[in-house]
Structure 1
């Protein structure tokens, strides 16, 4: 006779079941399959193509900076557009590989894409936006218009 202790998943009480069989039930086997590394590891190998890259946005008195983490790409993979006050950054990559041998043909293909859009404030000088890609980071420089830049404090004398 074996004792099976079930640990709570949601903080409920622990139950103890006595079972004469040493085989797990189908439901516990199925749950364990997807809770173990096998289930999540297997599922993580499928790229859904909808992952959005992380973005950092910085601002100082003269400009805004966007930093987007997109490793493994080339400069030519990016499409950056400004339409009215909307900045769109997108990428689409399709890869195909085929290997033929006498007894088999193996084809592998991959697809990934993303699109991020940002509404620009009226203070951005859209004609002077620049982008640079280096070491997996796409940096976009968004300068502010001259009239939007913060001026230093000025003392006014009373006459």
Structure 2
């Protein structure tokens, strides 16, 4: 049985390509301006994710990069067979030193969703976080959902 995972590697690439293309061609029609406004309004950052299949343990491990976040800041939801990892960043710091001021800010919503194999129960999903890396582990497929071979008589 194969599992479907939603992977969106080109989300930021598409946006950057559109901006570069529009700047080069001088394209400023109303549709492009409207598209740009809507893409900025839904400014969701997709954390990088690695998927690894552990054949011995019959499980899948998803690792999400969430640097600077504590486990209390991260939310994991399972709904309709989809696992969503999300976090909101509202960090602001200021440092004054010998005549200059350094202000750093990080604002945004981080979110990533992936499709779980059929038959996974919520209690089978395990999560741990260490050094800004969230690791979520779940079985590849429930035993009752494993494919069965039928012999032709």
User: Which residue pairs with 1:13 in the alignment?
Assistant: none
* Whole-Å separation in 1 of the counterparts to 2:67 and 2:126: 19
Higher relative contact order (CA 8 A, sep 6+): 2
**TM-score with structure 2 setting the length:** 0.53
Change (3 A) 1:110 1:98: same
Task: Please list, as runs of the form range in 1=range in 2, the aligned pairs for 1:91-110 lying within 5 A after superposition.
Answer: 91-97=87-93, 109-110=105-106
Alpha-carbon shift at residue 109 of structure 1 (Å): 4.2
* Whole-Å separation in 2 of the counterparts to 1:110 and 1:147: 45
Provide the aligned C-alpha RMSD in A. 3.3
Aligned length: 104
* Whole-Å separation in 2 of the counterparts to 1:97 and 1:71: 16
Paired residue for 1:56, among 25, 50, 56?
Answer: 50
Q: Residues 15-56 of structure 1, C-alpha deviation per residue, up to 9 Å, x if partnerless?
A: xxxxxxxxxxxxxxxxxxxxxxxxxxxxxxxxxx64322111
Matched, 1:125 2:124: no
Task: Please list, as runs of the form range in 1=range in 2, the aligned pairs for 1:61-100 lying within 5 A after superposition.
Answer: 62-97=58-93
Is the contact made by 1:85 and 1:121 (CA closer than 8 Å) also made in structure 2? Answer: yes
SS at match of 2:45: coil
User: Which residue pairs with 1:116 in the alignment?
Assistant: 112
* Whole-Å separation in 2 of the counterparts to 1:119 and 1:81: 12
Change (3 A) 1:110 1:67: closer
Is the contact made by 1:72 and 1:136 (CA closer than 8 Å) also made in structure 2? Answer: yes
Is the contact made by 1:92 and 1:111 (CA closer than 8 Å) also made in structure 2? Answer: yes
Higher normalized helix content (fraction of residues): 2
Which protein is bigger by CA-based radius of gyration?
Answer: 1
